[in-house]
Amino acid sequence: MMLTSEEKKQYNRHLILNEIGAEGQLKLKQAKVLVIGAGGLGCPVLQYLTAAGVGTIGIIDDDVVDQSNLQRQILYTMDDIGLSKAKIAAKRLSRLNPFVNFDVYNEKLTKENAISLFTNYDIIVDGSDNFSTRYLVNDAAVITNKPLVYGSIFKFEGQVSVFNYKGSGTYRCLYPTPPKPNESPNCSEIGVLGVLPGIIGSLQANETIKIICGIGAVLANKLLIYDSLQMNQMLLKYEKDSKTNVTALETDYDFFCGISSKEEISLEELQKNKEKYNLLDVREIWEREKYHIEGHHIPLGELLERLDEVYQNKDLVVYCQSGVRSAKAIEVLSNHHFKAKLLNLKGGCV
């Protein structure tokens, strides 16, 4: 495999770096990287890996673009609201670099598909926003022996590390037990500075490129903590825990993280017994104006501020377009001790 004349033009600034050069750029071209999530962290990771010329990039995300995403997920525009993040990301990135191949998985990462997916890639980059997925990604990376580039964000602070790299520590070495669900809310509940995922995601892309090209000091057995308000950063060292031995995936990662499994109800079943339930639509107003199945309307981004408006006198069915945002809404309600039974409308209302 060689670089074409057009690729040499595209990657000129890499080629003149002694540390990368033609050899390093060929390594990038031959590399296969799977990015988990095309959200706040995934957007900058995907943009910089694409620009760098990583030959094959997998994108897995089952979510759709929401207006509240646009504050930080800069791959998307107002025109993309309601559309698949994974598909839109690949379409836009292909215009940035036509020499990159994209594998699009418009689906949720689960214990059923994780191992088979990870097997096809050299490096895994985790841009997920919940502990259940982080533990799943870690365990699947350990089982398939893949380096894992980790990033996380919380309000104004971010973290970056590299797990399972040449025998280094893993996510479980750093965090052997997950926090309780109400101890660490995600950005839909507590907010996040818009530029922060751009900074942390760029650092994740940087670590990925270093691993591929074999340059620099990789953040293995080290945790970088970045504070955007004070412009401080700390580098903490941790050791591989010899007692941590992952040989199989957990049966239920939500249960492992103390999150109750979300019960689902089909649209057909709902319509048969509609009087038994309250309905909550968490889509945007423009989506509701096009079509709805009645019920109270509170967009997901406003739910935390309007919890007292949600009825609790009956079982509550939460719905959106595909079932993704409604699942997040149920998590918010559960974390705030919602009394009524919560059900997710399976597959959404369309």
Which residues does the annotation mark as catalytic?
187, 320
DSSP state of 83: S
Question: Distance between CA 131 and CA 137 in Å, rounded?
Answer: 10
Residue at 226: amino acid letter = Y
Long-range contacts of 65-70 (CB under 8 A, 24+ apart): 66/284, 66/300, 66/301, 66/325, 67/284, 67/299, 67/301, 68/188, 68/299, 68/300, 68/301, 69/39, 69/40
What sign has the CA pseudo-torsion 49, 141, 219, 210? negative
Which helix or strand (DSSP H or E) is residue 14 part of? helix 12-15
Cβ proximity of 334 and 342 under 8 Å: yes
Question: Distance between CA 43 and CA 74 in Å, rounded?
Answer: 7
Tokens of 196: 């922060």
Q: What is the DSSP string of 254-301?
A: HHHTTPPPPEEE-HHHHHHTGGGEEEEE-S-HHHHHH----SEE--GG
The DSSP bridge partners found for residue 263 are: 343
Tokens of 47: 């943009």
Question: Distance between CA 211 and CA 123 in Å, rounded?
Answer: 9
Q: What is the DSSP string of 216-247?
A: S---BTEEEEEETTTTEEEEEE----TT----
CA dihedral 350, 107, 272, 259 (to 10 degrees): -130
